[in-house]
Amino acid sequence: MKRILLLTALTPVLMLHAQVTIPEGFKKTPKGLLYKIAVDAGKPKGKLGDIIKLNTVYSTWKDSILFSTYDSGMGPVQFTISPPGYNGDPMEGFVMLGEGDSAMFLMPVDSAFKGQPMPQFARSGEYIKIGVSAISVMSKEDYERKKAEDAKMQTDQEAKTIEAYLAKNNLKAQKTASGIYYVVEQQGTGAKAEAGKNVTVNYTGKLLDGKVFDSNVDPKFKHVEPYTFKLGGGSVIKGWEEGIALFNAGGKGTLYIPSPLGWGSRANGQIPPNSITIFDVEVLEVK
């Protein structure tokens, strides 16, 4: 998890010495953040180290929207509340928010764009408005627990979909404890794919509807070459970390990966959120 990229991009350290007028209805924190609480739902407020999930809208002083998580396609953002890095850092405001709360933070355009050409949407003396609506605020422990519970529920639901797909296509698959279904076409007689070893594979990834989203054997995707990665190194999805380890060098098969072990609730290129993914894999080398 990380800070909202737009926050760091639009709030440079140049705000450290900014002298600003406090607009009517707003207050100023000890570190210079201008804010207004629009809704206080009465829930416990965030603390440093907590995980906050929220929607945010950036707009001009005259309310023209610059960016919105509601219609950007990315959905709500989630990150750890950390200490403010400079005077006026919006991060300071997140400890004022609890579940269901909403607030407005102000960023002086003279500070945000100091030393740069003033963009057409802004004039000296104005502010950029940052509207935030907190969806949830929880401790890291509660977040990890809920994440695991949600993943199990999603995996259990998708198991029914995978099993229906296998039955419809007359496929007999085995299932791992984590929920990956797999069909072994050829186990392979070479070295076992194990954590810490470099594994080289050929693969084709597709969705349940048959749409291929990536392949290193299809020229259409412009990277026809074996793919090598360190198993257990965290460079691939969890479904690959576990699924590829089911084979030896020379092995071939198909993995049916539930979304929590794939890309989860976030979209990735041609892969929609919460998508079951299918990978035809061939383990070329293990060393």
Both 174 and 114 in a single domain? Answer: no
Residues 103-137 pLDDT 10s: 999 988 887 788 889 888 888 889 999 999 999 99
* Contact between 134 and 51 (Cβ < 8 Å): no
Q: Is 36 exposed, middle or buried (0-12, 13-18, 19+ CB in 10 A)?
A: middle
Read off the pTM.
0.75
Arithmetic mean of pLDDT over the chain: 92
Range of the domain at 269: 149-286
Both 183 and 55 in a single domain? Answer: no
CATH number reported for the structural domain that contains residue 99 in this entry: 3.10.50.40
The average pLDDT across 31-53 equals: 97
Count of domains in the chain? 2
Domain membership flag for residue 144: no
Phi, psi (rounded to 5 degrees) for 97: -110, 145
* Contact between 47 and 94 (Cβ < 8 Å): no
Number of Cβ within a 10 Å radius of residue 44? 11
Q: Is residue 223 over pLDDT 90?
A: yes
pLDDT, position 14:
38
Residues 61-70 pLDDT 10s: 999 999 999 9
Q: How far apart are CA 111 and CA 107, in angstroms?
A: 8
Both 107 and 193 in a single domain? Answer: no
